[in-house]
Structure 1
Amino acid sequence: MTRTSLFVFSMLSLLSLSGCVSNSAKPLDYDRASGGGRYSILQDKAPDHDVKVDHLPELVPKWEPRSAGGNKSPYEVWGKKYWVMKSAKGYVAEGTASWYGLKFHGHTTSNGEKYDMYAFSAANKTLPIPTYLKVTNLGNGRTVIVRVNDRGPFHGNRLIDLSYAAAVRLGFQKKGLAHVRIQAITVPKGATYHPGLYTAGTSKKEVNPPIVLASEHAKEHHQPVKKSLSFNHLQAGAFSTKEAAERLKNRLIQVFDTQIKITIIKQSDGLFKVFLGPYSSDDALVLWQKKLQKAGFTKPIRVALIP
């Protein structure tokens, strides 16, 4: 599904579509053509089953070169020219988001990839491909990180077209449209992404850098702090008594059973701190942060423990 290469709808097609979807939650197809019969579905629609996205890990932005396809500038659609940005760094915008689904699932995107409506991807008219974005639904505060790999939407003044999975994560798949804020995440070459870092429009006060914690064992043996640390633990709480820390540990075990590895360490500040982990990947760590929040626990802090 390459928007820039599709044939443009005839005016008759546009009028007929406007009559049948104006009151529907389904995405509008004004910016998409029939493709000479390439699509087996005339009108885009949602899957015929409920889509669950809780199991999907958040995308981890990384540096990627511009793709060979999809970055021609300027390009023209319906007689209007669009100029692709040289860089997404610092880009923040608010506007209307829509989603696209089953009709385009499995078809080619502007950069030659296959559109997967069950992954977190997006289409935008002018951002470089690929670009990672943090998308916030301003109606409910939900967020998702997506990767732009396609062009569009070309209907009206819409800002972004999201995959169906991203719409589900943001909670507007039934409404069809949402008012969103998008923030580009531009990770420098060779750098590692951490939540909040490299995200446009995020002040330094909002960024929560990982916290380095030395265990009592490290303190006793006067081990120097290593330059390269693995921030692969979560701190779920800090208490003045061991009993309080044990209570949190027991609550976590009750909720998550044996899925969770918990350690209590008394630190040099005299507090008993409850740690979860270690986690083998950033995806797993972020997923558990979300699991704890969803279960009603305070958002745990990402930390590094010196053995």
Structure 2
Amino acid sequence: MASAPGSGGYVMKPYPRKGGGFYKDDGLPAQIPENIDQIPNATPRLEPLRNAANKPYTVLGMSFTPMTRLQPFSQQGIGSWYGTKFNGLKTSNGDTYDMFAMTAAHPTLPLPCYVRVTNTQNNRSVIVRVNDRGPFHNGRIIDLSFTAAYKLGYVDQGSSPVRVELIMPDASAVTYAELSKDALAANDAKIDDKTRYGEEVPKPGTYVQMGAFQNGFNAQVLRNHLLRELDWMTPAQVHVYAEPPWHRVQVGPFATRVQAETVQVKIRDALGGQPHIAVRQ
């Protein structure tokens, strides 16, 4: 039986969850849009590229250099999807993630852009708007929204071999430097807004600090990476505190140092790196 429209404007129906192989127990939804099969592909259009979202960045020792212009691009590898754990959170592009929209995350494609993704096992294709960073996992080249992966037929198993092809809206190379200054200023204001990158008032307590960045975008990418890779961690536990000139990524707060050190070891064993303990009065 379908339910009334939810906050996303969708009329929902129960989803018979059959899988268990989805990435990091991100979680299949209990309900999906009643008209999910009719949700259209993203419509490619020329958009200003986001300056802040296309700068080089590092996530726990892995360095990435995003493309800064639209140009021919094709890649084959394993596609995954991300859903309930991230639904409603901010993407690297500054948008609010909607797991039922036709979007995707990619480590290096310019943000935003449009790609055709083909499941090479069944030859189904979708067109999605790339507005987020990830996945940061060996062998995985793109994370699709739930709906996009559903249309490609792999939500229940969690991943599938895919081909990714960048779509050129006007068949010419464009850089963000060649677009209007007014459009760029509006986009940079959106992506660099303090509420996007940091909570105003840090909470007192003991934390595990994962990194400190002058570039708030890099801090947000690390936060999203932690949530992707650590299935036991919740969004409420990972903070980006903006304290100019730094954006600190901290996990907590914990009531005692012993609790923080237990999580510190758990994170280090899972991801490597050298997280350290930080105390806020």
TM-score by length of 2: 0.52
Flag the 1:177–1:75 CA change in 2: closer, same or farther, 3 A.
Answer: same
User: Any residues of structure 2 matched to 1:201-280 within 5 Å, and which?
Assistant: none
**What SS does structure 2 have at the residue aligned with 1:104?**
coil
Asked whether the equivalents of residues 133 and 183 of structure 1 are also in contact (C-alpha less than 8 Å), the reply is yes
**TM-fit CA distance, 1:157:** 2.1
1:124 equivalent among 89, 106, 114:
106
Alpha-carbon distance between aligned partners in 2 of 1:78 and 1:24, rounded to the nearest angstrom: 27
Paired AA for residue 26 in structure 1:
F
Paired AA for residue 177 in structure 1:
S
Alpha-carbon distance between aligned partners in 1 of 2:171 and 2:49, rounded to the nearest angstrom: 12
The match for 1:78 is 60
The match for 1:194 is none
2:76 equivalent among 89, 94, 118:
94
Alpha-carbon distance between aligned partners in 2 of 1:132 and 1:163, rounded to the nearest angstrom: 14
User: Any residues of structure 2 matched to 1:2-81 within 5 Å, and which?
Assistant: 24-28=20-24, 43-51=25-33, 52-72=35-55, 74-81=56-63
**TM-fit CA distance, 1:50:** 4.4
1:149 equivalent among 118, 125, 131:
131
Asked whether the equivalents of residues 68 and 111 of structure 1 are also in contact (C-alpha less than 8 Å), the reply is no
The match for 2:144 is 162
Aligned length: 153
Flag the 1:189–1:89 CA change in 2: closer, same or farther, 3 A.
Answer: closer
**TM-fit CA distance, 1:58:** 2.0
Alpha-carbon distance between aligned partners in 2 of 1:79 and 1:59, rounded to the nearest angstrom: 33
**What SS does structure 1 have at the residue aligned with 2:144?**
strand
Question: What whole-Å deviation, never above 9, does each CA across 1:123-181 have from its counterpart, x for those lacking one?
Answer: 00000001100000001111100010000000112100000110001010001001000
**TM-fit CA distance, 1:111:** 1.1
**What SS does structure 1 have at the residue aligned with 2:151?**
helix
Paired AA for residue 82 in structure 1:
F
**TM-fit CA distance, 1:116:** 0.4
Asked whether the equivalents of residues 105 and 117 of structure 1 are also in contact (C-alpha less than 8 Å), the reply is yes
Alpha-carbon distance between aligned partners in 2 of 1:158 and 1:124, rounded to the nearest angstrom: 10
Alpha-carbon distance between aligned partners in 2 of 1:48 and 1:64, rounded to the nearest angstrom: 34
When Rg is computed on C-alpha atoms for both structures, the one with the higher figure is 1
Alpha-carbon distance between aligned partners in 1 of 2:62 and 2:141, rounded to the nearest angstrom: 16
Alpha-carbon distance between aligned partners in 2 of 1:61 and 1:127, rounded to the nearest angstrom: 15
Alpha-carbon distance between aligned partners in 2 of 1:163 and 1:57, rounded to the nearest angstrom: 13
**TM-fit CA distance, 1:87:** 2.4
Gap regions ≥5 residues in structure 2? 1-18, 173-281
**What SS does structure 2 have at the residue aligned with 1:94?**
strand
Paired AA for residue 58 in structure 1:
N
Alpha-carbon distance between aligned partners in 2 of 1:57 and 1:121, rounded to the nearest angstrom: 11
